[in-house]
Structure formats: structure tokens, C-alpha cells
Amino acid sequence: MGWLDRERTIAPPGFNRWLVPPAALAVHLCIGQAYATSVYKTALVKHFGASLTEIGVIFSIAIVMLGLSAAIMGTWVDKNGPRKAMFTSAVFWASGFLVGSLGIFSGQLWLVYLGYGFIGGIGLGIGYISPVSTLIKWFPDRPGLATGMAIMGFGGGALIASPVSTALLKMYDPNSGAKGWVASGDSVGKLFLTLAVVYLAYMMFGAFTIKVPAEGWKPAGFDPAKVKAATLVTTDNVSAKNAVKTRQFWLVWIALFCNVTAGIGILEQAAPMIQDFFRQSDGVSLVSAAVAAGFVGLLSIGNMSGRFAWSATSDVTGRKRIYMMYLGVGAVLYTVLALAGSTSTFLYVALAFVIISFYGGGFATVPAYLRDLFGTFQVGAIHGRLLTAWSAAGIAGPLIVNAFLDAQGKPGQLTAASYQPALLTMVGLLVIGFVANLLVKPVDARFHEPRPDRVRSEEPAMEA
Amino acid sequence: MSTAQTTVNPTPVNPSTGKLVVAWALVGVPLGYGVYETLTRVAALFG
């Protein structure tokens, strides 16, 4: 397997760096399917005779494994390079679908947990972080733009997988024309087999297109000293082992956790929430199910576009400032949503759209933020460890919202006022995140890796 | 004469241009399709 080694992927002179973003996108668009599981959720409930919660566990295992594998395998990814990491991710992701389909065909739910959840989840984690450090090295002049393009793919993957999966289920199920149709287990199994083949091919395209820059390469006209003078950027490096010992790592962890928890609060409840916000006194909502589905689609667009637009903007504003916007402006928008969101559907939709764009932006900007603080040396591994904040938020967000809503009443009876405690709790979280981000300062020089060209005692103080 | 000029000063062709177009099309076309499909659902919101 030496042909997958980092040494074999060093770009020759004249290699066009704009080939790297589509390679990264190919992987992220595939693993982004994880957000399109709702397409076959009901079919699996019926097929296995299981509860929604039991089927929901498949997705939960996958997300937990994403965080764990990103944290554990981050150093391995940095050491072995993006090609081997993408190849490994593709094998795990496709194998997850294959084992999952075996579970569906044989009626064994535990095999779906093992396949899609456990094995596929490992593919998710490795795939998510695999192109990040390479992109940052190819685009030292625009790291936010580069990581934004790739991580946008994770948001965009569901936009593709959702309609394609629906079309395939209809094609595979002879009863698809029936009234009140729910896809058969057999058709979901065939869908899994198809996705395994297609995703394997796509991710292999990414793996064999990506290349790492040669040592010392930099884009024409790029002056690192200029970047350092403009923002909170170091030219030193911190190892992943040392990074987790710094206050900065945990402050950014808190900022990301708060931003993601607040975003998930809306995303998880998007469709019922807009209907509840505009429920009249007779119990009927002004917002139909079709309109609510359109709202969910709009949030997906906001999530995806925010990843690209805000992360690219952070190259101009600086990472700390844009996180202040995500968390500070986000807290204000959340407050307006909680207190005045029910006055107008336009206001409600506009607020939710911007809030979700901040949620996506937080994900896409954080690799560049880590690059600024810890250098490029092991930024992939550090990013992997930071993604545990995502796993934690994935548990905390729904727990907070559901706990408050359960106390307010039953689904179908809730109103805008029922959401206020949950939304105002999210405002509190965003304020905590804002303060954490405000406290981020340059990393102390004692955590820096030694540089051959410099004696440690002569190192200059870091700039803010 | 013009042939001779072409031989002496051939127009430089970047070999990666074709690859670039194919690579971006491979990811851009499905993404565009996904965005289009989603926007048709979003239309219900404003309809």
C-alpha cells in the first residue's frame, strides 16, 4: 500500500492547487449523506418493527463515532497524508453501507448499528478531517475559503442524497405508487448497496486527485509576514499533544460547542417549530406541512452557504472577530426569535436562516482558527480532537430543547411561548461561547515546537 | 507563414485545465442538482 503514502502524493511543479478543493469536496459530499437519513427512517421503523428512537440510534452511533474517530485518528491522518486517509475513509464508509444492507436484508438491526453506525461512523470521522490540513497548506493565503469549500460539501451532501435516495427507493419498490406508500426494507437494502458503490467511486476520485504541496511551497506573491501582521496568526507550530494542554484549545472548544448546540436546537425541531410558532388559538397552524418542509430545505441551504460564505469572509475579518459575530449577533438574533419571532413568518424565516448560516460558518471556520493559533504542523489532529465538541453538542442540543418542550406540553399543542425557555437557554449558551472566544489569546511560546532557525529564548512575543 | 509562427511560438496550454474542468464538474453538477431540488421545495414557503 506504499502507493497511498504521503511521499507518493507530493505535487509536481506546476500542479494546479485548484484541483484540491474538488478532491476534498468529493469526500465531504459523500459523507454529508449522514444528514439525509430521514429519507428512509420511517421505512426502517416499519421494516424492523422498531421505535423511532431505536432507528434514531443508528444516526447517533454514527455521529459519536465521527467525533471519536476524528479525535483518535487525527494524528494518524496528519502523519500518513490525505490520500491514505481518504482511501481508508472510503473503505469504511462504503463497508458501512454494505454491512448495513446485510442487516436490512437479514432483518438484523444490530448489523445496521454495526455497519452504518459503527463502521460508517469511523469513515465519517476520518473523511471529515482528511482534507483539512492539506487545504490549509495549499491555501495559506485563504485558509478560510479553502476549508469553507470542503466543509460546505458536508452540508451539501444531504441536499444531493435526499432527492437521489427518494428517487432510488421509488425505482426499487414496485409498490411506490400506492397511497400512503412507505418504502419496503428490500428497497432500502438495495439503496444502501447502490450508495456503497457510488460513494466508493466518488471518494476514490477524491483520494487519487488530492496531492500535498512540496516542502517550502507557497503560492506566488504570498507573504507570510503580511498575514501575521494582519491577524491573530502564528508562524510557529504546536503539536496536537501540547495543543490540548493549552487554554486556547478549550476556549475554542467551548465556543464551538455553544455555537453548535444553539444551531442544533433549531435544526432538530425545524419543521414542528415553525408550525408551533404560528399556531392559532383553535390549535390549527397557519403553516402547512408542505411549507414547513420548504422551511427545512431553506435551512439546509443556509447551513451550506454559511459554511462557505462566512468562512471565506473570515480571511478578511480574522477568525476571532467572525466568531464574535456568530456568537454575539447570534445571541441577539436568538433573543429576537424567542420574543418576537411569532409576529411575522418572514421575520421568523429570516432570523432562522441567518442563525443556521452562523452554525455552518462555525464548523467551516474552526480549522482556519486552529491554524492561526497552533500552526499547520498537526492542525488536522488538533481539529480531530476539537470535533468532540460536536459530539457533545449533538447530545446536549436536543436534550436541552426536548427537556424544555416536554415540560411545556404535548406535540401539536405547543405555541411560540412554549419555546421561549429553550431558546433563551440557547441565548445564555451563546453568551458563554462569546465570552470564551473573547478570552482567546495567542498560545504561550512554551508550547511551540522547537525551530531549527531559532533559539527558544530568542523567540519573539506573540502578536494579538 | 502563419504555420511557421505557430511552430515557433505555440500557444501555451496548461495541461491541468482539462482536469480542472472535469474535477469541478464532477462535484459541481451533483451539488447544483441538489440545490435546485431543494429550492423547488423551498418555493412552497413563498408560494
3-state class of B31 per DSSP? helix
* Predicted confidence (pLDDT) at residue A452 exceeds the cutoff of 90: no
A396 and A258, same domain (yes or no):
yes
Domain count within chain A: 2
A257 and A136, same domain (yes or no):
no
A243 and A116, same domain (yes or no):
no
What does the angle CA B30 – CA B34 – CA B36 come to, to the nearest 5 degrees?
115
Interface size, chain A vs chain B, as Cβ–Cβ contacts under 8 Å: 77
In a domain, residue A338? The reply is: yes
Amino acid in position A64: V
In a domain, residue A54? The reply is: yes
Closest by alpha carbon to A189, among A115, A111, A105, A106?
A105
Angle, nearest 10°, between helix axes A388-408 and A52-106? 120
Query: Among partner residues B28, B35, B46, which is closest to A301 by beta-carbon distance?
Result: B35
Indicate yes or no: CB of A156 within 8 angstroms of CB of B24: no
ipTM of the complex: 0.85
A139 and A257, same domain (yes or no):
no
Indicate yes or no: CB of B26 within 8 angstroms of CB of A156: no
A129 and A39, same domain (yes or no):
yes
Joined together, the cell numbers standing for residue A225 give 509576514
- Plot region of A32 (φ>0 → left; ψ -120 to 50 → alpha; else → beta): alpha
A26 and A113, same domain (yes or no):
yes
Closest by alpha carbon to A274, among A198, A345, A203?
A345
Q: Which of A41-45, A57-61, A458-462, B16-20 has the lowest mean pLDDT?
A: A458-462
Render pLDDT for A116-171 as a digit per residue (tens, 0 to 9): 999 999 999 999 999 998 999 999 999 999 999 989 999 899 899 989 999 999 99
Q: Which of A5-14, A389-398, A434-443, B9-18 has the lowest mean pLDDT?
A: B9-18
Q: Domain of A66? A: 2-209
A230 and A195, same domain (yes or no):
no
In a domain, residue A453? The reply is: no
CATH code at position A279: 1.20.1250.20
In a domain, residue A219? The reply is: no
Pick from A17, A27, A160 the residue to mutate for testing the B interface (most B CBs within 10 Å).
Answer: A160
* Chain A contact for B21 (CB, 8 A cutoff): no
A205 and A239, same domain (yes or no):
no
Joined together, the cell numbers standing for residue A317 give 475579518
Per-residue confidence (pLDDT) for residue B10, from 0 to 100: 52
* Chain B contact for A460 (CB, 8 A cutoff): no
Per-residue confidence (pLDDT) for residue A146, from 0 to 100: 92
In a domain, residue A43? The reply is: yes
A257 and A199, same domain (yes or no):
no
At A93, give phi and psi (nearest 5°).
-65, -45
In a domain, residue A294? The reply is: yes
* Predicted confidence (pLDDT) at residue B3 exceeds the cutoff of 60: no
3-state class of A10 per DSSP? strand
A163 and A239, same domain (yes or no):
no
Residue A453 pLDDT class (50, 70, 90 cuts)? low
Q: Are A457 and A299 in contact (CB under 8 A)?
A: no
Render pLDDT for A41-98 as a digit per residue (tens, 0 to 9): 889 999 999 887 888 889 888 988 998 999 999 999 989 999 999 999 999 999 999 9
In a domain, residue A51? The reply is: yes
In a domain, residue A127? The reply is: yes
